[in-house]
Chains A and B, each alone.
Chain A
Amino acid sequence: EAAVTQSPRSKVAVTGGKVTLSCHQTNNHDYMYWYRQDTGHGLRLIHYSYVADSTEKGDIPDGYKASRPSQENFSLILELASLSQTAVYFCASSYTETLYFGSGTRLTVL
């Protein structure tokens, strides 16, 4: 079973502050993803990566940056957090098929 670990589990941030969400996977998966979940919207893809040192934009990349320094680690960066970025964030990894999700990070921006 793929192991995807997210940190922190929850975070409260101030508007305009910088937030970094971290994701670590231990199964040698090439692909990693960051999704956000809002009530009524399901999961929407922010950024993804298919190889270290490279990231791609998903459907809603504005206001977010991503970093993939190694195959195992994928970070999501909010340089200037805004109220609208309050959500639950999920990281996932995959090889070619099934997505394996982390437990999520609940981010509240005040």
Chain B
Amino acid sequence: GDQVKQSPSALSLQEGTNSALRCNFSIATTTVQWFLQNPRGSLMNLFYLVPGTKENGRLKSTFNSKESYSTLHIRDAQLEDSGTYFCAAEAGSGTYQRFGTGTKLQVVP
């Protein structure tokens, strides 16, 4: 529930623009995962992060464990980026991931 807070809850982006999604954690978090649920409902993993930054194409994600947040940056948004983005926090080895409530992104022409 409130242990992983995502913002914004919804977002509309013009094609070609940039934006950032954020997750704040109220639990001690060791790793973060980001997922995209496409409009058909399928969940795809985007990033698995220990503290630090990863980049993949137009997506870049950062996890700052000291300040308890993670961000997902989308550069040059495309129509196929539309869907709901979830972050999930893991509190340590032997525990399980807790999900945020998602950011619903719509990319418009």
Contacts and interface: CB of A to CB of B under 8 A. Distances in A.
B97 A41 contact: no
B25 to A, nearest CB: 14
A48 B99 CA distance: 15
Interface stretch (A12-20, A21-29, A71-79, A100-108): A100-108
Q: Range of interface residues on chain B?
A: 10 to 19
A99 B45 contact: yes
A58 interface: yes
A20 to B, nearest CB: 21
A43 B43 CA distance: 11
Main secondary structure of the interface of A (DSSP, over half): strand
A97 interface: yes
Contacts of B97: 45, 99
Given A98-B33, A99-B33, A90 B96 contact: no
Contact of A101 (B1, B31, B43): B43
Contacts of A42: 86, 99-102
Contacts of B96: 33, 45, 48, 58
Contact of B99 (A44, A88, A100): A44
- Top 9 nearest A-B pairs by Cβ distance? A101-B43, A42-B101, A42-B99, A43-B99, A98-B48, A98-B45, A97-B48, A42-B102, A104-B41
8 contacts: A42-B100, A43-B86, A43-B88, A44-B99, A90-B43, A98-B48, A99-B33, A101-B35
